[in-house]
């Protein structure tokens, strides 16, 4: 086995060593061919053998489940086994092979299409969604028929696997809707062929707190299922079939990394205060209510961004007011009075409700996204606003509006918020009448006009992921331009600075909730520029806090001002590196 390495863009640090688990769309590989009469019996046998293999695999996984594995895992495998035993899957394709004289893969695919169509007619949401199980079972059978190496566990089964069998997810691409499902399972790492550094898929990968690399180009073609691979999330390197020495070296590095992470735990309950006594709020970004556990574990003092759109994904119907209310209330209550900033629906561009949705507009990132979408669908927006207001009675909720570009969008939003309040008042439903309304500054137009927005809002939150995308004209999801993504571009820094100054002038708080906030290499610059609130994925809180504890704001402010006056990235980068060293020297003075 030859060893080789592939380079991509590291989006989440750490080192993982494990077996490659290729997520393939076996259904796409199915071809149709005709068979001569004398081969039909063999083909039917090939089909029966494949069904038997899959059954055997599933039974084996079922019996090896750990005692404390979630009950739904066993139920999930049970459902698949039941489906395999059903005549519609185990017998009907044989008739198709016989009648159509076609290959087994094609026969089961035809049968699956028919079953899926029947499922689509079912009114009940839950039962209708079971068609996914049919598709997954058929995929397993097709993989066996196509001769894919022994079937590894599907995502739902992964959590049952033991430490030595860590799996590394290898995919061509993963939609944010798919990635959110992986949150519940234990992958050791996550690598994809495409994707930009701040694509929502990358953000989710980071939130899983496992090493992740995107933009590997051909990983999915070069790596085979079950191969041993090393993922170095910091360097953006994947090593396939490493030799003994490399393996030893990386095991050592992995241990060091884990040791550093453990050391960071010591500052979990320490307040994020600079050496000269300035307090910095370190908030967390979340995607689903269950993320609150990670927020608490990281010692975050609030939630600075709850991306509600993930509640709307992987489904055909919008969540109703009650479902939304329950989710928002759960987070508010769990945070026990700490701030919870909930962002209104930011659907569109790379975040579609249904992963199968084909985006037809030419420039989805410039299209009907976020607040634009909500204003064009006032009923959907009204439902969410009512749910948010109702939940505000149960905790310290603030509302955040994404992607504002004009004041008129803000004013329309305010009118709709008033309408939602009125409807609740009429029904005598309790809510926080003074709920704070903030706006995301993530379009250059909003940053340039930040004073006007600050004037009409309670707080601002800078979404640097989109701000960089729109300022530098770099599609966040396009790996071909990933190398141009640079948060230190002077124009990006100037827009951030303008927003901070607007907030200072009007006495409104300004935070950063884009990925820049969680990059410890940028912490000193951001606080030096005047930011006192940063919101990031929980996994970054401690490394950012460590930077703050080592910071002398007076020195940082003067140096940050110098950086802001520069116009050339090449001069900015070394100065930011120097800025990080200044405070380090203060902490460890030269003898």
**Which residue in 514, 528, 530, 538 binds ligand PEP (CB under 6 A)?**
514
Place of tokens 């894919």: 148
**Which residue in 57, 232, 346, 409 binds ligand PEP (CB under 6 A)?**
346
- By a kind-dependent CB cut-off of 5 to 8 A, residue 287 interacts, out of Mg ion, ligand PEP, none, with none
- By a kind-dependent CB cut-off of 5 to 8 A, residue 57 interacts, out of ligand PEP, Mg ion, none, with none
- Smaller CB distance to ligand PEP: residue 294 or 341? 341
Minimum Å distance from CB 305 to ligand PEP? 6
254's enclosing H/E stretch is helix 244-264
Sheet with 4-7, strands from edge to edge, namely 4-7, 237-240, 228-232, 15-22, 167-171, 189-192, 212-214, 9-12
C-beta neighbour count of 66 within 10 angstroms: 11
- Smaller CB distance to ligand PEP: residue 513 or 541? 513
What are the backbone angles phi and psi of residue 151, rounded to the nearest 5°?
A: -65, 125
Minimum Å distance from CB 514 to Mg ion? 7
Q: Does 232 help bind ligand PEP (rule: CB under 6 A)?
A: no
What are the backbone angles phi and psi of residue 12, rounded to the nearest 5°?
A: -150, 125
- Smaller CB distance to Mg ion: residue 230 or 404? 404
Minimum Å distance from CB 389 to ligand PEP? 22
Minimum Å distance from CB 381 to Mg ion? 17
- Per-residue binding string, ligand PEP, 428-457, x by CB under 6 A, is --------------x---------------
Q: Residues 535, 511: contact at Cβ < 8 Å?
A: yes
Q: Residues 435, 341: contact at Cβ < 8 Å?
A: no
Minimum Å distance from CB 537 to ligand PEP? 11
- Per-residue binding string, ligand PEP, 261-280, x by CB under 6 A, is --------------------
How many alpha carbons lie under 13 Å from residue 263 in its C-beta half-sphere?
A: 8
CA gap 174, 21 in Å, rounded: 14
- By a kind-dependent CB cut-off of 5 to 8 A, residue 513 interacts, out of Mg ion, ligand PEP, none, with ligand PEP
10 Å CB burial of residue 114 (0-12, 13-18, 19+) is: exposed
- Smaller CB distance to Mg ion: residue 112 or 349? 349
Longest dimension (CA), the chain: 88
557's enclosing H/E stretch is helix 553-564
- Smaller CB distance to Mg ion: residue 14 or 304? 304
- Smaller CB distance to Mg ion: residue 349 or 526? 349
375's enclosing H/E stretch is helix 370-376
> With CB under 6 A, what is the number of residues at the site for ligand PEP?
11
Minimum Å distance from CB 291 to ligand PEP? 14
Minimum Å distance from CB 507 to ligand PEP? 23
Minimum Å distance from CB 440 to Mg ion? 6
- Smaller CB distance to ligand PEP: residue 155 or 466? 466
- Per-residue binding string, ligand PEP, 299-318, x by CB under 6 A, is ------x-x-----------
- Smaller CB distance to ligand PEP: residue 236 or 463? 463
- Smaller CB distance to Mg ion: residue 105 or 442? 442
C-beta neighbour count of 478 within 10 angstroms: 17
Is beta strand 533-536 parallel, antiparallel or unpaired with respect to 437-441?
A: unpaired
Q: Does 513 help bind ligand PEP (rule: CB under 6 A)?
A: yes
What are the tokens at 121?
């007619």
Sites for ligand PEP among residues 177-216 (CB under 6 A): 203
Q: Does 284 help bind ligand PEP (rule: CB under 6 A)?
A: no
- By a kind-dependent CB cut-off of 5 to 8 A, residue 11 interacts, out of Mg ion, ligand PEP, none, with none
What are the Cα distances from residue 433, in Å, to 53, 388, 421? Answer: 61, 12, 8
- Smaller CB distance to ligand PEP: residue 166 or 476? 476
CA gap 311, 325 in Å, rounded: 11
Minimum Å distance from CB 302 to Mg ion? 19
Binding site for Mg ion (CB under 5 A): 442, 463, 466
C-beta neighbour count of 422 within 10 angstroms: 10
> Active-site residue numbers?
200, 513
CA gap 177, 132 in Å, rounded: 14
What are the tokens at 448?
């340039």
- By a kind-dependent CB cut-off of 5 to 8 A, residue 475 interacts, out of Mg ion, ligand PEP, none, with none
Minimum Å distance from CB 540 to ligand PEP? 13
C-beta neighbour count of 179 within 10 angstroms: 27
- By a kind-dependent CB cut-off of 5 to 8 A, residue 307 interacts, out of ligand PEP, Mg ion, none, with ligand PEP
Q: What is the per-residue DSSP string for 69-128?
A: S-HHHHHHHHHHHHHHHSHHHHTHHHHHHHHH-B-HHHHHHHHHHHHHHHHHT--SHHHH
In the structure, how many helices (H) and strands (E) does the chain have?
25, 16
10 Å CB burial of residue 235 (0-12, 13-18, 19+) is: middle
3-class SS of residue 520? coil
- Smaller CB distance to ligand PEP: residue 51 or 339? 339
Q: Which long-range contacts (CB under 8 A, 24 or more apart) does 579-582 make?
A: 579/524, 579/525, 579/528, 580/521, 580/524, 580/547, 582/524, 582/552, 582/555, 582/556
- By a kind-dependent CB cut-off of 5 to 8 A, residue 105 interacts, out of ligand PEP, Mg ion, none, with none
- By a kind-dependent CB cut-off of 5 to 8 A, residue 503 interacts, out of ligand PEP, Mg ion, none, with none
Sites for ligand PEP among residues 457-476 (CB under 6 A): 463-466
Minimum Å distance from CB 424 to Mg ion? 28
- By a kind-dependent CB cut-off of 5 to 8 A, residue 464 interacts, out of Mg ion, ligand PEP, none, with ligand PEP
Site residues (vs ligand PEP, CB under 6 A): 203, 305, 307, 346, 442, 463-466, 513-514
């Amino acid at each position: 086995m030859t060893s080789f390495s592939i380079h991509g863009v590291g989006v989440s640090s750490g080192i993982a060593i494990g077996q490659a688990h290729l997520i393939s769309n076996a259904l796409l590989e199915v071809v149709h061919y005709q068979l001569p009469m004398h081969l039909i019996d063999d083909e039917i046998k090939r089909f029966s053998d494949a069904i038997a293999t899959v059954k055997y695999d599933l039974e084996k996984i079922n019996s090896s489940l750990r005692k404390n594995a979630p009950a739904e895992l066993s139920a999930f495998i049970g459902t698949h086994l039941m489906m395999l035993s059903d005549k519609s899957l185990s017998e009907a394709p044989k008739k198709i092979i016989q009648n159509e004289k076609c290959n087994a893969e094609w026969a089961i695919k035809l049968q699956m299409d028919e079953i899926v169509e029947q499922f689509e007619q079912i009114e009940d949401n839950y039962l209708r969604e079971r068609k996914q199980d049919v598709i997954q079972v058929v995929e397993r059978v097709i993989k066996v028929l196509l001769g894919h190496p022994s079937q590894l566990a599907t995502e739902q089964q992964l959590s049952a696997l033991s430490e030595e069998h860590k799996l590394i997810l290898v995919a061509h691409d993963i939609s944010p809707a798919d990635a959110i499902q992986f949150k519940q399972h234990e992958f050791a790492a996550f690598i994809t062929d495409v994707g930009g550094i701040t694509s929502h898929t990358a953000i989710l990968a980071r939130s899983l707190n496992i090493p992740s690399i995107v933009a590997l180009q051909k990983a999915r073609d070069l790596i085979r299922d079950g191969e041993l691979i090393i993922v170095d999330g910091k360097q953006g390197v994947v090593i396939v079939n490493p030799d003994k020495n490399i393996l030893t070296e990386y095991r050592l590095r992995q241990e060091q990394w884990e040791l550093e992470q453990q050391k960071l735990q010591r500052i979990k309950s320490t307040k994020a205060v600079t050496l000269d006594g300035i307090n910095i709020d370190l908030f967390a970004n979340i995607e689903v209510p269950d993320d609150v556990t990670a927020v608490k574990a990281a010692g975050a003092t609030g939630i600075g961004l709850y991306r509600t759109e993930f509640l709307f994904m992987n489904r055909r119907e919008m969540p109703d007011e009650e479902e939304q209310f329950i989710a928002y209330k759960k987070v508010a209550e769990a945070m026990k009075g700490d701030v919870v900033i909930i962002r209104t629906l930011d659907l569109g561009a790379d975040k579609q409700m249904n992963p199968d949705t084909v985006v037809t507009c030419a420039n989805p990132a410039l299209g009907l996204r976020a607040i634009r979408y909500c204003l064009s669908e006032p009923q959907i927006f009204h439902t969410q606003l009512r749910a948010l207001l109702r939940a505000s009675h149960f905790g310290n909720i603030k509302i955040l509006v994404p992607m504002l570009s004009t004041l008129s969008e803000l004013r329309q939003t305010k009118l709709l918020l008033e309408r939602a309040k009125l409807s609740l008042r009429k029904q005598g439903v309790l809510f926080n009448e003074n709920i704070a309304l903030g706006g995301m500054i993530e379009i250059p137009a909003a940053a340039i006009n930040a004073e006007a927005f600050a004037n009409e809002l309670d707080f601002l939150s800078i979404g640097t992921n989109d701000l960089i995308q729109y300022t530098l004209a770099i599609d966040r999801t396009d790996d071909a331009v990933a190398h141009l993504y640079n948060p230190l571009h002077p124009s990006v820094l100037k827009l951030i600075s303008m927003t901070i100054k607007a907030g200072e002038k009007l006495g409104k708080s300004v935070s950063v909730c884009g990925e820049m906030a969680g990059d410890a290499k940028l912490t000193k610059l951001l606080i030096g520029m005047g930011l006192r609130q940063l919101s990031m994925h929980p996994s970054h809180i401690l490394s950012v806090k460590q930077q703050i504890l080592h910071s002398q704001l007076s020195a940082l402010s003067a140096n940050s001002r110098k950086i802001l006056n520069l116009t050339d990235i090449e001069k900015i980068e070394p100065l930011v590196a120097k800025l990080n060293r200044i405070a380090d020297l203060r902490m460890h003075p030269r003898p």
